[in-house]
């Protein structure tokens, strides 16, 4: 039994929504996920004006925006074309979550977020692999990856990286479910405005990550590298990424 607490990973919580260092997560081999390599957060476009400079000063050299093209266009990103960071927009959502009749959002009226995470694995595998390759290539500083609230698309990438490094199922679920707690000051007013069938999409209930991990167990025998290889990652690339993390 370890004493892992996601609270120890929080960063810039007054200036950037749900920002955390992935480092410090205990691993099954007795080690821990490397610190100051990977950060996760909500969108910098929702952050204070200081967030960009704070992150650059902290050592962020690469930023991966997981939002859809429409989200990126509509809300922008202070790291895009800043001349300082290596910026990538690699969508893990097809469509526009703000659109009234978006098919994915309509799907979520009758399904769990965890079911959406499974769809991401099945339909956006090449994009996920592109994200992982960008992360592996950045060895000159920290990489920040984010979506809108740092909860769903960001949570899936974090879970994949933790699975690769050898974190426990229990800790991965705990790391996921605190997202709502860390972002609730921002999310609760949005939840109050949502129709009842959609309120769950702004939380991070544990069963969503359980659905995702159950699928990895059933489809890939619990070995996330089988997913990576299915979509083209080589053993060398996987080992490079694992070394970066642990």
User: Is residue 186 within 8 Å of residue 46, measured between CB atoms?
Assistant: yes
CA distances (Å), origin 187, targets 1, 47, 49, 101, 151: 32, 14, 20, 21, 11
pLDDT of the residue at 156:
98
User: Is residue 176 within 8 Å of residue 213, measured between CB atoms?
Assistant: no
β-bridge mates for residue 87, sequence order: 63
CA distances (Å), origin 203, targets 98, 108, 113, 170: 17, 13, 9, 18
Per-run averaged pLDDT (10 residues), the chain, 246 residues: 89 90 97 98 88 94 98 96 96 93 96 98 98 97 98 98 98 98 96 97 98 98 98 98 96
CA–CA gap between residue 148 and residue 179 (Å, rounded): 12
| CA quadruple 207, 213, 216, 221: dihedral, nearest 10 | -120
pLDDT of the residue at 15:
85
- Tally the C-alpha atoms within 13 A of residue 17's C-alpha that lie toward its C-beta: 20
pLDDT of the residue at 157:
99
pLDDT of the residue at 46:
83
pLDDT of the residue at 13:
78
């Amino acid at each position: 039994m370890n004493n892992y607490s996601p609270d120890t990973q929080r960063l810039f919580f007054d200036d950037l929504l749900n920002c955390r260092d992935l480092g410090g997560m205990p691993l099954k081999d007795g080690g821990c996920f490397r610190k100051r390599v990977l950060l996760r957060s909500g969108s910098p476009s929702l952050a204070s004006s200081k967030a960009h400079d704070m992150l650059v000063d902290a050592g962020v050299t690469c930023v991966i925006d997981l939002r859809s093209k429409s989200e990126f266009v509509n809300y922008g990103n202070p790291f895009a074309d800043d001349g300082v960071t290596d910026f990538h927009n690699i969508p893990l959502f097809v469509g526009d979550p703000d659109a009234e009749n978006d098919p994915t959002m309509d799907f979520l009226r009758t399904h769990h977020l965890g079911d959406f995470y499974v769809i991401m694995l099945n339909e956006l595998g090449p994009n996920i692999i592109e994200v992982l390759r960008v992360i592996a290539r950045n060895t000159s500083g920290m990489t920040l990856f984010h979506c809108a609230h740092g909860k769903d698309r960001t949570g899936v990438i974090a879970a994949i990286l933790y699975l690769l490094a050898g974190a426990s199922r229990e800790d991965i679920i705990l790391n996921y479910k605190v997202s709502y707690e860390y972002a609730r000051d921002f999310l609760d007013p949005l939840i109050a405005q949502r129709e009842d069938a959609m309120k769950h999409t702004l939380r991070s209930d544990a069963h969503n990550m359980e659905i995702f991990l159950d699928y990895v167990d059933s489809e890939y025998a619990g070995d996330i590298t089988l997913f990576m290889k299915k979509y083209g990652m080589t053993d060398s690339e996987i080992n490079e990424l694992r070394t970066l993390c642990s």
